[in-house]
Structure 1
Amino acid sequence: MRIVQVLATSGGVGGLEQHTFNLANEMSLQHEVHIIAHPCYVDKFHERVHFHAVDFARSRWNIFLLWQLKTLINQIQPDIVHAQAGKAAELISKIRSLLKPIHYVTTVHGTKKNKAIYAAGDAVIAVSRALTQGIPQDKTHVIYNGVHPQPALSLEHKQQLQSEIYAHHKTLDISKKTVMCIGRLEPVKNISLLLQAMQGVDANLWIVGDGSLRASLEAQVEQQHMQNQVAFLGFRKDARDLIQLADAVVLSSDREGFPLVMVEALQADKTMASTQVNGVVEWLPRAYLAEVGNSKELQHAIQNALSVQALADLGPLFARAKAELTVQAMTQQTLKVYEHLLSK
């Protein structure tokens, strides 16, 4: 099977990008895979994947971008073209009439009011059940995001990492439990809500990630007199390792598609608290969920996640995540969608 994946973002690496890296690399073990993506992502793909650099920083109405895409896809002559998220789907929809006959798949990664651009696909994959709303049922397939299992760290490595963190953040009390948040410091992640919720919780908060709101969030920590409780760790390449040091992982987002942070946490046997965003509500029990924007409910959910009972409640989810939320499972389900289209 000859497959073209289209990733039309042009900067950071979030869940959408990581999903695409994992999917293309895994598919290339069995099939001829081409990725059309911004040149900044070239080192994210295995050498088996045929990488085609395109400057997606340009507008989705840019005639040169559209012409370049059309020319590339027609040269490759794929069996399947798969558009990852909204911009890629819109670009392909604009040029589809100019393409040689293809089977076309779209994936919905986040909440969008208008799903028409996705429904134009011959098949539509949604990364959570909530994202299927507004899409014809006969086209829709729910395939959860998966990750590669992270090897367990040795006790020595854990102690080394922990010592490093506390050496840089001497005001933290090393005897307290650790709540961890991993994500971009941008409005949609609503870290400000998390800081409010952590007031009165007897635990340290490690915030892993960077973004435009860092200065304002650091100011909020000072205003709330939480300097002895909160550590900003910035962007870390070893974030997956750091999860293994957490007592609980927290999501405070206003919206999500299917957050990979939840997958990473559950696979690492870590309890969680989260706002009621897409994907998470399909996995976590109610006691560990909070209404979006409600700091008191989030505080209660965090306290539940830090309790002894949490391990008993979430234990079955740890095993399920290891079995179902893997790159291999995600890839095989996606390939089945392709095969179904090709069999028609």
Structure 2
Amino acid sequence: MKIVQVLATSGGVGGLEQHTFNLANEMSLQHEVHMIAHPCYAEKFNQQVHFHSVDFARSRWNIFLLWQLKSLIQQIQPDIVHAQAGKAAELVSRIRPFLANVKVVTTVHGTKKNKSAYLVGDAVIAVSQALTQGIPESKAHVVYNGVYAQPSLTDAQKQVLKAEIDKQFPALDADKKNVMCIGRLEPVKNIALLIQSMQGIDANLWIVGDGSLRPALEQQVIELKMQNQVAFLGFRTDVRDLVQLADVVVLSSDREGFPLVMVEALQADKVMAATKVNGVVEWLPEAYLAEIGDVQGLQHAIQNALNVPAQQDFQPLFAKAKAELTVAAMTEQTLKIYEHLLKA
């Protein structure tokens, strides 16, 4: 099977990008995979993936971008064109009339009111059940995001990493439990809500990630006199190791598609507390969920997660995540959708 993946973002690496890197790399072990993406992502793919560099920083209305994309796909002559997320779906929808004998697949990664661009797809994949809303049942498929298993740190490695963090943030009580959140410090992640929720909870808060709201969030911590409780770890490349030091992982977002943070936390056997965003509500038990934007609700969910029974409640989810939320499972389900389209 000859497959073209289109990723039309340009710069950041979030859940959408990581999903696409993993999917293309895994598919390339069995099929001929061509990746059309911004040059900044070139090194994210293995040598089997045929990488085609396109400047997607240009507007989705740019005629030269549309022409370049159409010409590239015509030149490759794939069986399947798979557009990842909104901009890619919109671009492919505009050049669809020029793509004869090609099956098109689109993937919805986040909450979108208008899904018309995705409907160009002969099949539309959603990364959570909630995201299938507005898609005809005949086209809709749910494929959860998966990640590669992360090797567990030894106790000695955990101690070294913990000592490094403790040394960096001496104001924190090193003997207290650690609540961790991982994400971009941007409005949609609502870290301000989480900081408020942590007031009165006897645990440290490690905030892993960076973004435009960092100065405002640091100021909030000072105003609430929480400097002895909250640490900003900034952008880290060892996030999946750091997760293994958490007692609880928290997601305070206002919107999500299917958060990779949840996948990674569950695979690392970490209990969670979260707002009721897409994907999360399909997995986590009610006692560990809060309404979006609800400070007291999130505080209650975090306290529940810090209690002893939480580990028992989550045990079945840890096993389920290791079985179902993997790159292999995600790839296999996606390939089955392709094969079904080609037989139709």
In the superposition, the TM-score normalised over structure 1's length comes to 0.99
Paired letter, 1:255: R
Q: Does 1:284 align with 2:284?
A: yes
Find out whether 1:36 has 2:41 as its counterpart: no
Say if 1:194 and 1:298, in contact at 8 Å, map to a contact too.
yes
State the secondary structure of the residue aligned to 1:43: helix
Q: CA deviation at 1:280?
A: 0.2
Q: SS where residue 313 of structure 1 aligns?
A: helix
Cα deviation for residue 89 of structure 1 reads 0.1
- Residue 99 of structure 1 deviates from its aligned partner by 2.1
Q: Which residue of 2 aligns with 1:155?
A: 155
Question: Structure 1 CA distance, aligned partners of 2:341 and 2:100?
Answer: 16
Residue correspondence of structure 1 range 313-328 to structure 2 within 5 A: 313-328=313-328
**1:194-224 Cα deviation digits (max 9, x unpaired):** 0000001100000000000000000000000
Kept in 2: contact 1:115–1:134 (CA 8 A) = yes
In the other structure, the counterpart of 2:26 is 26
Identity %: 76
Instruction: Determine the C-alpha separation between the residues in 2 that align with 1:162 and 1:37.
Output: 38
Q: Which amino acid aligns with 1:167?
A: K
> CA–CA distance in 1 between the matches of 2:85 and 2:223?
38
Distance in 1 of aligned mates of 2:58 and 2:166: 43
Matches within 5 A, 1:82-93: 82-93=82-93
Measured in 1, the distance between the counterparts of 2:209 and 2:161 equals: 17
Q: Contact 1:77–1:100 (CA<8 Å) still a contact in 2?
A: no
- 1:251 Cα shift? 0.1
- Distance (Å, rounded) in 2 between the aligned partners of 1:339 and 1:35: 19
In structure 2, the residue matched to 1:67 is 67
* Aligned twin of 2:178: 178
**2:112 alignment partner, SS class:** coil
Q: Which runs of 4+ in 1 moved over 2 A?
A: none
Question: Residue 223 of structure 1 corresponds to which residue in structure 2?
Answer: 223
Q: Please tell me the residue identity of whatever aligns with 2:111.
A: T
Match of 2:261, SS? Answer: helix
Distance 2:11 2:197 in 1: 31
What amino acid is aligned across from residue 139 of structure 2 in structure 1?
Answer: K
Q: Is the 8 A contact 2:128 2:257 kept in 1?
A: yes
Post-superposition offset of 1:234: 0.5
Counterpart for residue 243 of structure 2: 243
User: Deviations for 1:108-148, whole angstroms, at most 9, x for unmatched residues?
Assistant: 00000111111221000000000000000010100000000
**Following the alignment from structure 2 to structure 1, what is the Cα–Cα distance between the partners of residues 15 and 105?**
19
Q: Please list the CA deviations of residues 293-330 of structure 1 after superposition, one character each: whole Å capped at 9, or x if unmatched.
A: 00100000001111101011111000000000000000
Letter in 2 for 1:225: K
Indicate conservation of the 8 Å contact 2:96/2:120, yes or no.
no
User: What is the alpha-carbon distance in structure 1 between the residues aligned to residue 127 and residue 246 of structure 2?
Assistant: 26
> What is the rounded CA distance, in whole Å, between the counterparts of 1:269 and 1:143 in structure 2?
22
Q: Following superposition of structure 1 onto structure 2, how do residues 256-271 of structure 1 map, counting pairs within 5 Å? A: 256-271=256-271
Measure, in 2, the Cα distance between the counterparts of 1:119 and 1:310: 41
Does 1:4 pair with 2:4? Answer: yes
For the Cα contact (< 8 Å) 1:108–1:126, is it kept in 2?
yes
Alpha-carbon distance in 1 for matches of 2:50, 2:307 = 48
- 5+ residue gaps, structure 1, are none
Give the corresponding residue for 1:196: 196
Equivalent residue number for residue 117 of structure 2 = 117
1:165 is matched with which residue? 165
| Per-residue deviation, 1:289 | 0.3
1:10-46 alpha-carbon deviations (Å, 9 max, x no partner): 0110000000000000000000000000000011100
Tell me the CA shift for residue 100 of structure 1: 3.1
1:201-220 equivalences under 5 Å are 201-220=201-220
CA contact (8 A) 1:255 1:278 kept: yes
SS at match of 1:242: helix
Could you tell me whether the CA contact under 8 Å between 1:27 and 1:331 is conserved in 2? yes
Q: What are structure 2's unaligned runs of at least 5 residues? A: none
- Displacement of 1:101 in angstroms is 2.1
Trace 1:125-144 onto structure 2 (pairs within 5 A).
125-144=125-144
What root-mean-square deviation, in Å, do the aligned CA atoms of Structure 1 and Structure 2 show?
A: 0.5
